[in-house]
Amino acid sequence: MTPTGKAAADRRPWEREPGRVLAVCAVVTGALLAFHRAVPNTPGRLGSLLEAFLPWLGLLVVPLFGLALLRRSAVALLALLLPVAAWTQLFGGLLLPGTASGPHHLVVVQHNVSDENTDPAGTARALADAGPDLVALEELVPPALSVYRRTLAADYPYHAVRGTVGLWSKHPLTGVRALDIKPEDITEPWNRGLRAVVRTPYGEVAAYVAHLPSIRVGAGGLASARRDESARLLGRAVAAERLDRVVLMGDLNGTADDRGLAPLTSRLDPARRGFALSFPAALPLARIDQVMARSASVDHIRALPATGSDHLPVAARVTLR
C-alpha cells in the first residue's frame, strides 16, 4: 500500500466517505420514525421514551441537510427523503388547517390547572373566554376548587367533581360517577377519573375526565408503569361504555404516539389537526393533555395562552356523528 493509500485508509469513516455516513444517519432517522413501534420497550421503556418526543426527531433532518449540501453529497440528499417522507406521513396532517365543523359539534377545553396555581379565578375566566361547551379540569384542590365553582357558575350551570378532576358543562349532566383507574400499588386515597353523560342538543355524549399518573425520565429510562396500568383501566372503562358517543378529556401524561396509551388510542381517535403542545408551559415540548373521541371526530386542537399552571390549556372542536 502506498503512503497515500495508507493515509487514506487510516482516516475515519467520516473523513473517507462523509456522504455515506450522512446517508446512514438519514436512513436510521427515517427508520426510527417509520418503525418506532419496533423499538423494544425494555430496558427502560425506550420505545415509549422515543414516542414521547417522536415529532422532534424530524429536526435531525435540518443539520443532516446542511451537512449534505456542504459535502455536496447526492447520496445523502437522496437518503434524506426517507425521514422527510416518514415524518410527513406521521405528522404532516396535523399541520393542515382544521376542517369546517359539522352541524353537530362541541367545543371542549382540557386543562391541568395545577395544584400550585396562585390565580384560579384568572385561570377560570381565561378558559371560559374560549367559549367551550365543556371544560375538563385536573388537580382541583381546596380552596381553589371553590373559586373555580364560583367563577364558572354563570356560564356553566352544570358541573361534577370527583376527587381532583371535574367537568363543567353548558348542558345538563346525568349519570355522574367516579372511575376506578387507581394503580394497584397506590394505597392512599386517589380519585382522578370521572364519567358523566352530557345531554347535548344533538344527543347524549359520555364524557370522561381523567388524570393519569405522572411519568419520570431518569438514568434507568422512562418510569411509566403506573401511567400504563391506569391507561389500561381507563381503556376497559371506555370499552364497556354503552353510549356510542364518547369524548375523553384529560392529562394523560403521554402523547398520542406513546404505546403506553394504546389501550385508549386503540379505542378512541385523537385530534386530526393541530399540534397543541401543552407541557411544560414555559417551553412546550409535547401534548400530554388530550382530547379523544369515539363516534365523533376531534377535528382540530389548539393550545390556549398560559395560565397560572405548568400546563397550557388546549381547546378542541369535536364533531359528533
List pLDDT tens digits, range 190-199: 999 999 999 9
Residues in CB range of 251: below 8 A, 6 or more apart: 110, 112, 138, 139, 210, 211, 212, 288, 289, 290, 311
Give me the amino acid identity at 177.
R
Q: What is the DSSP letter of 37?
A: G
Query: Mind giving me the DSSP string for 46-78?
Result: HHHHHHHTGGGGGGGHHHHHHHHHHHT-HHHHH
Q: What is the pLDDT of residue 99?
A: 66
Tell me how far apart the alpha carbons of residues 171 and 158 are, in angstroms, rounded to a whole number.
Answer: 7
pLDDT tens for residues 235-259? 999 999 999 999 999 999 999 999 9
Given a cut of 90, whether residue 11 has pLDDT beyond it is no
Worst-scoring range by mean pLDDT, 89-98, 109-118, 152-161, 192-201? Answer: 89-98
- pLDDT surpassing 70 at residue 104: no
Is the per-residue pLDDT at 14 higher than 50?
no
Q: Among residues of the chain, what percentage have pLDDT more than 70?
A: 93
- Measured N-to-C along each axis, helices 120-129 and 144-152 cross at an angle, to the nearest 10 degrees, of 30
Which of 10-14, 96-100, 192-196 has the highest mean predicted lDDT (pLDDT)? Answer: 192-196
Contact 275, 287 (CB under 8 A): yes
Mean pLDDT along residues 60-69: 94
Q: Mean pLDDT lowest for which of 40-44, 162-166, 269-273?
A: 40-44
**pLDDT-wise least confident of 48-57, 195-204, 212-221, 310-319:** 212-221
What is d(CA 245, CA 203) in angstroms, rounded to the nearest whole number? 9
pTM of the model: 0.90
pLDDT surpassing 60 at residue 144: yes
pLDDT at 5: 55
pLDDT, mean over the chain = 92
pLDDT digit string, tens, across residues 274-308: 999 999 999 999 999 999 999 999 999 999 999 99
DSSP secondary structure, 134-177, as one string: EEEEE---TTHHHHHHHHHTTT--EEEEETTEEEEESS-EEEEE
Please state which of the ranges 12-16, 125-129, 156-160, 241-245 shows the lowest mean pLDDT.
Answer: 12-16
Q: What is the pLDDT of residues 19-58, one digit of tens each?
A: 899 999 999 999 999 999 999 988 888 899 999 999 999 9
